[in-house]
Amino acid sequence: MKKKLDYKVVQEAWGDKRKLADQPVPKEQAIKVALSLYEYMFGKPWKGKTRLTSGRRYTWVRNGELVVNPDMQETYASGWRSMVHDLSHYGHAKINRKNNNHGKVHAEFEAELARYVIRKYF
Ligand SMILES: [Zn+2]
């Protein structure tokens, strides 16, 4: 996370839910959560396969499969926050092919996903 100021909006979006959001996503719920985030980002449902993963693997689309890690531990986030972070990069890169790195635009996008998760699941 290079541009700290840009990402204040993400911290603010999690707000007092941040500690809760660092907990693992319950395994039995994780794929449903990832699918709902996908649909929210793209405005259409994911049609391919899905699979749970673990360890240090990002939640991402690999070989046409949506691979979901409910308990990713990153240096700056884990659990729910990590899943939102990873999927926000996936979605942002697909939607904004020319501006697909960290910065204000991505931060706003990630914050919107965080607010969505809080509304829907917290
Ligand atoms: Zn990032």
Report the C-alpha dihedral over residues 14, 16, 22, 25, rounded to 10 degrees. Answer: -80
Q: Which pLDDT tens digit goes with each residue over 74-97?
A: 988 999 999 999 999 999 999 998
Report the C-alpha dihedral over residues 4, 6, 11, 13, rounded to 10 degrees. Answer: 180
pTM of model > 0.75: yes
Tell me the CA–centroid distance for residue 102 and ligand 1, in Å.
6
Tell me the CA–centroid distance for residue 48 and ligand 1, in Å.
25
Q: 45: closest CA among 60, 29, 34?
A: 34
Tell me the CA–centroid distance for residue 62 and ligand 1, in Å.
18
Question: At 84, which helix (H) or strand (E)?
Answer: helix 79-95
What is the distance between the alpha carbons of residues 29 and 11, in angstroms, rounded to a whole number?
24
pLDDT of residue 99: 79
